[in-house]
Structure 1
């Protein structure tokens, strides 16, 4: 396929994807890619916030999108005071795990669900509050997909919230919620190690590295969530078109 034709096809596909909205966590890799930006932005949580009185929290850890991503969706159980956590870990595709019966199995990741007691749930929400998760997000922050960061959004007491924790930063290193999350994580999959602060990517790779393959995009944080959808898809389009 010629570069011009490939660019045209990618443009059409990504414009179509821009209209896809997330309906929550999924282990289907195709659905996940179609709705990823909507999922990151918590569009489904925002649209339903305050309608049923349920608190919902979503935490995403990006440790280079092409290598390791973790997602946690926590839903309060109303009057009982506890919550249910659904967690997924998506790592670099392991071709050895592809089976003829399920050719997409290698991209599904590891998933697990667990129930949090009222004390566990209350303690975790308190930890998020202490770490500033419900404060105004860092407006203008740019997050490359090859970088390391946490995104958190959700609905708490009928109010939608969104924030980010980029690495390296004091906000990231001083946050206590990752350790608290690790104690209740049902996946059993260890967190990846962090690069040295000076080695952590702060921008997208150069054009030569983009040619090596993979998916690259950049997110921009605004006062009310992610800026876009055109900004994230524009960056993704540029990266893919450079292949």
Structure 2
């Protein structure tokens, strides 16, 4: 597990990727929105990142949304990463079984404005509860980005009223271009709130816990920068 955690914290994110190696190397940085934060307020573009973690080893889906300040609307890039599907593996692409699904979508001005209004009403631009800890085997939404030149970062843990009352997931379900269904939620009493016991950690997979501060994750997210990404296949 220690090696997995080192890999997860190794490099800085340059955005969404279907390269599984790059994804592991930059995951904490991607969660923290380091790439979005570095550009916030510099080019006038609004950027939003929504991440749904439904047990990291089983199902993760992400939405990167970039507003078009000149023509209105926004571009959406969606990724769904599920448990490795060996049936998708090809000799031409040894990473194919772990790439997940990627799709894009263009929102009209009306769709985009409606979505941003929904995020506002759901408290997406409010800070998260201080010190919130989220285990990788749990279920939660993590949202960050840059709106009108201002950085924001928040989360919706399950189970909580903040999660169940939010309506933005329904909008995402309606526009999702990947064709991959959202997974069902466990009963609230069965939802993981902490990492599994040490015995289960030894069974394999990647396990980690993130802690949230007011403006992002607590702790280093990209101590070695983004230099290694240029050498990764598929980037």
TM above 0.5, yes or no, is: yes
1:140 to 127, 131, 139: 131
Aligned to 2:54: 63
Q: Which residue of 2 aligns with 1:159?
A: 150
| TM-score, length of structure 2 as denominator length | 0.91
Q: 1:35 aligns with which of 5, 10, 26?
A: 26
Gaps of 5+ in 2: 222-235
Map of 1:237 onto structure 2: none
Higher deviation after alignment, 220-229 or 195-204: 220-229
Q: Does 1:96 align with 2:79?
A: no
> Which protein, 1 or 2, shows the higher relative CO under an 8 Å CA cutoff with sep ≥ 6?
2
> TM-score, normalised to structure 1's length?
0.88
Q: What SS does structure 2 have at the residue aligned with 1:194?
A: coil
* CA deviations over 1:81-130 (Å, ceiling 9, x no partner): 10000000000001122111111101100000010000000000000000
| CA distance in structure 2 between the aligned counterparts of 1:95 and 1:139, rounded to whole angstroms | 40
| Secondary structure of residue in 2 paired with 1:115 | strand
The structure 1 segments of at least 4 consecutive aligned residues displaced by more than 6 Å after TM superposition are none
1:138 Cα deviation from its structure 2 partner: 1.3
Higher helix share: 1
Rounded Cα–Cα distance in structure 2 between residues aligned with 1:195 and 1:17: 26
Tell me the residue number matched to 1:178: 169
Bigger mean CA offset, 221-230 vs 137-146: 221-230
Tell me by how many angstroms 1:18 deviates.
Answer: 3.3
Return 5+ residue gaps in structure 1 as ranges.
1-5, 231-243
Aligned counterparts, 1:1-243, within 5 A: 10=3, 14=6, 18-229=9-220
User: Aligned in 2, Cα 1:65/1:17: closer, same or farther, shift over 3 Å?
Assistant: closer
Which residue does 1:233 correspond to in 2? none
Number of positions where the alignment pairs a residue of Structure 1 with one of Structure 2 = 221
Aligned-partner Cα distance in 2 for 1:228–1:194: 29
